[in-house]
Amino acid sequence: MKISICTILYLLPIIACSQNEELDTIKMKLILDNQPLRGANIYIADWKNGESFNTDFEGEATIRIPKNKEQVRLGFMGPVVRLRIIRPVDSIVVNLNSKKARYYFNSKKMNKQKLKVRGY
């Protein structure tokens, strides 16, 4: 009995650490018709955790994405939009009218990307 309790206590931290994925925290803002896009869903593609995030009344959401993932899908009443995360990045502003995403790191504009959009 003592041995099995010791074994469990020994293995518990190993199991807990093996389930942790390193995550990046990224702020996103979605804009449509020069207005914040409220209630849009942001999905991390191909992530078995299946977590999604929703934008607030300001069109903003803070997502936590594994460091080894780079594809994000945006869901709202409209076309399916795919976005590739280009690192390093702190925040992303997505303008759905111009179909462009702007990436920022340490408050400096780092990159711009054209969005992939599929039908309505």
Confidence of residue 11 (pLDDT cuts 50, 70, 90): low
Cβ pair 111, 46 in contact under 8 A: no
User: What is the structure's pLDDT at 18?
Assistant: 47
Residue 42 CB-density burial (10 A; 0-12 exposed, 13-18 middle, 19+ buried):
buried
The average pLDDT across 88-102 equals: 94
Please, what's the b/e burial string for 62-77 (b: 16 or more CB within 10 A of its CB; e: otherwise)? ebebeeebeebbbebe
Mean pLDDT of 20-39: 92
Out of 20-29, 43-52, 80-89, least confident range: 43-52
Domain limits, the chain: 22-118
Average pLDDT in the 63-81 region?
Answer: 87
Q: Quick check: pTM over 0.85?
A: no
pLDDT value, residue 21: 72
Lowest average pLDDT, out of 10-14, 92-96, 106-110, goes to 10-14
More confident residue, 6 or 75: 75
Q: Which residues, other chains included, contact 19 with Cβ-Cβ below 8 Å and sequence gap of 6+?
A: none
Residue 106: pLDDT over 70: yes
Q: Which CATH number applies to 22-118: 2.60.40.10, 2.40.50.100, 3.40.30.10, 3.40.50.300?
A: 2.60.40.10
